[in-house]
Structure 1
Amino acid sequence: MEIRQMSVGTMAVCCYIVSCPQTRQAAIVDPGGDEERILAEVKRAGLDVRYIIATHGHPDHVCGIRRIKEATGAEIIMHRADAAFFWQPDTQNYFSMLGLEPSPLPDRLVEDGDIIELGNEQLQVIHTPGHTPGGICLLCGQDLLTGDTLFVGGIGRTDFPGGSHQQLMNSIKDRLMTLPGDTIVWPGHGYGGSRSTLAEELQTNPFL
């Protein structure tokens, strides 16, 4: 799997362009702004974008989805629980304060253990609730895209509607830390080159 990490938008969201080296099929994960820059990188790399994947439904991670879908025709993928939660009127009203565009309705809903085929590569969906009800991580071999579940030196906040600190810690302990220690952590926020391993986080992350 080829992974391109881009820091986008006003909240330094880590957007990922993941692709199969053989087929050039690609997915864009969490396009949280700077859509034209993302699309320019896709064009430069000669990629065929099949999917737009949201690790969760917070507007800072999904505000670029509509523009990316219009440009590529790719399917929008989100966990079933976040699709249900973020289209509730009360939830939409709360997050409208951020002034960011919500995602269009997803084309495909996923659950824990689902596989997203990307050419000769596979992304495994790991449901990690806590930051949001339907937060997910994506595992491909040694690479783990953790969204806002786990950061380099931090964890996702849980004070927004739908958040639960205990649930988040259980997700990290029971769903992520059971993976090999050399699994590479690609977080949902940070600047260029932001990554770690599960072993490093277990040793140095103050929340763990």
Structure 2
Amino acid sequence: MKWQQLPLGSIQTNCYIVENPDRSCLVFDPGGDAKKLINLLNTRGLKPAAILLTHAHFDHIGAVDVVRETYKIPVYVHKQEEKWLGDPALNGSQFFPIIEPIKVNPADHIINDEGTLKIADFIMSVYHTPGHSPGSVSYYFEKEGVVISGDALFQGSIGRTDLAGGNHSQLLKSIHDKLLTLPEDTYVLSGHGPVTTIANEMDSNPFLNGF
């Protein structure tokens, strides 16, 4: 399995493309620039099987409908943010004047519980990691040693908690209980900024002192 980071949209949110040797792939958090993303997928001959969202803030969902319609694939989101997709007040887009309010059609699959998720030949674990937002989830590929953490954990930082449904203490608990328990050599594919590892964040992240 390979993965690629692709910053998209007005604030360069990281979209991730995870692919298997047969060229099938999953698209995580297509935040914008749909044409750029589709051109890359087509140029590389990739065959998307699904769109998975770590959460439903506007900068993670801007290209969802175009990519979904182009490839006729389903969208996954956590139940606590099911209504955020079509509500610019909840997804935050109405508060950012640099963009148009974003309304995305309902998701095809609702993530209700943690556990194993299998899509095509991809197998991952889903962890509910709220705090940045109520329905934030992280997707962990154990065999490959990769976790897609959305805006929960960054290199040297953590997600902001001053938006709707944010909770600082809950975020720290999510990071401690769900992410820092992963093997230390696990790569953390964050929603913004560079890739890091669990070990690096345990050793040097100033927001995690005391954990």
How far the C-alpha of 1:119 sits from its partner, in A, is 3.7
Alignment of 1:11-160 (within 5 A): 11-21=11-21, 23-84=22-83, 91=90, 95-98=93-96, 99-141=100-142, 142-160=145-163
Overall identity of the aligned pairs, in %: 34
Contact 2:86 2:105 in 1 (8 A): no
**Superposition deviation, residue 90 in structure 1:** 5.7
Equivalent residues of 1:28, 1:52 under 8 A apart: yes
Residues 85 and 59 of structure 1: CA distance in aligned 2, closer, same or farther (over 3 Å):
closer
Whole-angstrom distance in 1 between the partners of 2:94 and 2:179: 31
Contact 2:8-2:33 at 8 Å conserved across structures: yes
Give the TM-score of the pair, scaled to structure 1. Answer: 0.91
Q: How many pairs were matched up?
A: 203
Structure 2 residue identity aligned to 1:164: N
Aligned structure 1 segments of 4 or more residues deviating by more than 3 angstroms: 84-90
Q: In the alignment, residue 77 of structure 2 is paired with which amino acid?
A: M
> How far apart are residue 48 of structure 1 and its match?
1.3
Counterparts of 1:177 and 1:83 in 2: how far apart (Å)? Answer: 27
For residues 85 and 31 of structure 1, what CA distance do their matches in structure 2 show?
A: 15
Deviation at 1:129, TM superposition (A): 0.5
From the superposition, tell whether residues 24 and 88 of structure 1 become closer, same or farther in structure 2 (CA, over 3 Å): same
Q: Quote the offset at 1:41 in angstroms.
A: 1.4
Quote the RMSD (CA, aligned, Å). 1.8
**Is the 1:25–1:118 contact (alpha carbons within 8 Å) kept by the matching residues of 2?**
no
Secondary structure at the aligned position of 2:138 is classed as strand
Tell me by how many angstroms 1:103 deviates: 2.5
TM-score, normalising length from structure 2? 0.89
Q: Which amino acid aligns with 2:59?
A: D
Cα distance in 2 for residues equivalent to 1:86 and 1:66: 10
2:110 match: secondary structure: strand
Question: Which AA in structure 2 matches 1:179?
Answer: L
Between the two structures, name the one with larger relative contact order (CA 8 Å, sep ≥ 6): 1
1:65-113 CA distance string (max 9 Å, x none): 0111121111010011111455568636x64222342332100011343
| Residue 179 of structure 2: aligned partner | 176
Question: Structure 2: which amino acid aligns with 1:41?
Answer: L
Displacement of 1:56 after TM fit? 0.2
Question: Displacement of 1:63 after TM fit?
Answer: 0.9
